[in-house]
Structure formats: structure tokens, C-alpha cells
Amino acid sequence: MEEQEITVSLSTQKKEKPKSDELQFGRIFTDHMFILDYEEEAGWHSPRIIPYQPLTLDPASIVFHYGQTVFEGLKAYVTKSDEVRLFRPEKNMERLNRSNDRMCIPRVDENLALEAIKKLVSIDKEWIPTAPGTSLYIRPFIISTEPYLGVAPSRSYQFIIILSPVGAYYEEGINPVRIAVEDEFVRAVKGGTGEAKTAGNYASSLKAQELVSDKGYAQVLWLDGVEKKYVEEVGSMNVFFKINGEVITPELNGSILEGVTRSSVIQLLRHWDVPVTERKISMEEVYEAYQRGELEEAFGAGTAAVISPIGELAWKEEKLVINDGITGEIAKKLYDKLTGIQYGTESDPFEWVEVVK
């Protein structure tokens, strides 16, 4: 593939930046966006950074009807010494292409996509918030734009990147959440699209999420769609249980999203000689460990919260209060190390960080 030059057209009107105590998640967007077009004959072409602006799309565009789309989510962090850093962004681009394969979307050039992220972030660098725990959320996504009502892969696409300054996930440091195990609704099943980061998986999760929020739970813990027995993942996090000294996480089985945080957690635990296993784990097993007093910790892992300790797990009629509802030792250590690497206060033994010039 030929090297493609990213053209830049700067915004003349700069928007007002939010105050750091007003930051939420994903509601405010920066001054610029990146776009790359695809047509069958031309392939991916015309990479460009332009002022943030609405998309203009035919109402028959496939994305509106058949949801042929994929996305990614990662963050840019700024260090005390004003260095802008990404955390394993190449992993997100690899996953984007795996999602593309599943959704019949043509692969993108991962190097070009990475360059686009870096260039866009550096142009909107002033938008990266600096308060502790804040960051710039990066959302690359691909939409199918062919105006055609037949159920078939689109013949045209747009790859877009937008940026959103986001607040700290935890207002006052890492804090345990309450999670409800979902045993009616299913997010994904073997043979479906669970391992792809695609719109439909999230659309199908809304109902269950809505029902548990009403009961005061932060998120749903999904079980496998076949037997409704084995643990899969939380809304937007992979999940880990520490049972009798061993850390266990559900193995990748086709219906779980392969999280970048998940793989980093596994690597760090191995590095620290903490036993860690990827395998099937049923809720029965978790519950039995709990009853024996051996369920020492449970936590989610994902880009948004990094590590999210689970203080309470509601399952059927049971409420499992884990580690007295307090953040566990391993969860805390992982959180400190990962955020330390991201914000440049900890050493980076695996060279996960990529500096944006």
C-alpha cells in the first residue's frame, strides 16, 4: 500500500474547553476530527484532519439499517512534564482489524490509523485535561455509507476519529462498584459477534443495563448465552476473580471482547509471579468459593475505569459482598501500576507507552 499523506485543515473557530471539574464522559468533543474514505475501486483514501463537524449521510446508508460498523476506545494521557502518551494503541488497531474481519469491513492500514491518532491528538493537545485521573478519550470508528437497503456488506465506508476530554472515573480514587449477574438477557453467544467491537453488542445490552440501574447496580455481569452458567464479562470490562491466591479470568471463547487492559493485567500478574489462569469459570464456582471464604477479590478491567473493584455481586437471590466491599490488594496494585505507567509516574517494563510528539 502506498504511503498516504494526512492533510490538515485547521478550525478557525476554537470551541471553549470545559473546566476540569465539569468533565464527564463522552459529551464534549474537541476542535478537530479525522476522516478516511473507502470506495470499492479506490480502497481507503483521502486521509484528512478537518474541523469537528456533522456527518452528511444518505438516509439509506447501510449503517442506519443494518449496523455494519466497528469502533475502538483508547486514551491519551498527559504527564507532569507535559508529555502526551498513548497506552498500547497498536493493540486497539489490531483489534479494530479483527472486528473488521468479523463484520465484513475492509481492513485499514494500522500504521496510517496510528499516525492519524497521533496527529489528531497533537493538533488538539490543549484539549487533554491535566487534573489527576483525567484524560482524552479517543474514539476511532467505521461506518458503512452505501445507500442500499439490501442486506449485504457496504461498498463504501468512512473511518472517523473523534476526541473527547473525560473526567476521572472515580471522583475520590479507586472505589468498588455493585454489579448484578444477568440471567435473562444475553449480550453475545458463540458464533455471534461478541468478540468484535461492533454496535449491535452494545445495543443489545441496553435493556439489561436499564433494568439493573433501576435497582442501583452499576453494570451487568454477562453469562454465556448457551448455558447461562459461565462468566463472560461486565458491560465494558473484562472480569477477574481472585480465589485462594489464584487470579482467574474467563478464557477468550469468541463471545468475549479481548480487552487491552485484560491482556495488560495478565502480563503484569505473571511479571509479579501472581498465579493467573484464563479458563472457563461458572457462577456456581464463584459462589462456592465465596461460601468457603476463598473469594478474595473480584474486579473489572477496561480502558474507562482501568480497574474497577467489585464490592458486591448480586446473583439470583444471593448478594456476595466481596472483601468486605473494600478495594482488594491486587486490584489496588494493578490500578496503581497501570495508571502510573499511563501518567508516567511508574516504570514501563513492557514498553507499553507510546509518546506523541
Ligand X SMILES: Cc1ncc(COP(=O)(O)O)c(C=O)c1O
Per CB under 6 A, 250 contacts ligand X: no
Per CB under 6 A, 233 contacts ligand X: yes
Number of other residues whose CB lies within 10 A of the CB of residue 290: 20
In this complex, which beta carbon is closest to a copy of itself, that of residue 86 or of residue 188? 188
Contacts (CB under 6 A) with ligand X, residues 256-275: 257, 259-262
Contacts (CB under 8 A) with a copy of itself, residues 322-351: none
In this complex, which beta carbon is closest to a copy of itself, that of residue 1 or of residue 149? 149
Per CB under 8 A, 48 contacts a copy of itself: no
C-alpha–C-alpha distance, residues 169 and 261, integer Å: 15
Q: Which of 9, 206, 251, 291: binder of a copy of itself (CB under 8 A)?
A: 206
Per CB under 8 A, 156 contacts a copy of itself: no
Least distance in angstroms from the C-beta of 40 to ligand X: 25
In this complex, which beta carbon is closest to a copy of itself, that of residue 137 or of residue 230? 137
Instruction: Choose the one of a copy of itself, ligand X, none that binds residue 238, judging by a C-beta under 5 to 8 angstroms depending on kind.
Output: ligand X
Per CB under 6 A, 296 contacts ligand X: no
Cell (9 digits) for 1? 500500500
Q: Which residue in 70, 67, 40, 56 sits closest to 257, CA to CA?
A: 70
Annotate 140-179 with DSSP letters as a single string: EEEEE--B--SSS--SEEEEEEEEEEE--SSBTB---EEE
Cell (9 digits) for 69? 460498523
Q: Which of 4, 31, 33, 176: binder of a copy of itself (CB under 8 A)?
A: 33
Instruction: Choose the one of a copy of itself, ligand X, none that binds residue 323, judging by a C-beta under 5 to 8 angstroms depending on kind.
Output: none
Residues 6+ apart with CB under 8 A from 58: 145, 147
C-alpha–C-alpha distance, residues 287 and 251, integer Å: 19
For cell 490488594, the residue is 329
Cell (9 digits) for 160? 472517523
Per CB under 8 A, 193 contacts a copy of itself: yes
Least distance in angstroms from the C-beta of 306 to ligand X: 9
Question: At 218, phi and psi to the nearest 5?
Answer: -75, -45
Q: Which residues of 8-46 are buried (b: 16+ CB within 10 A; e: fewer)?
A: eeebeeeeebbeeeebeeeebbbbbbbbbbbeeeeebee
Applying CB under 6 A, the residues found at the interface with ligand X are 73, 233, 236-238, 257, 259-262, 302-303
Interface residues with a copy of itself (CB under 8 A) are: 25-27, 29, 33, 52-60, 63-69, 71, 102-104, 137, 139, 141, 143, 147-153, 160, 162, 164, 184-193, 198-207, 209-210, 225-226, 228, 235-236
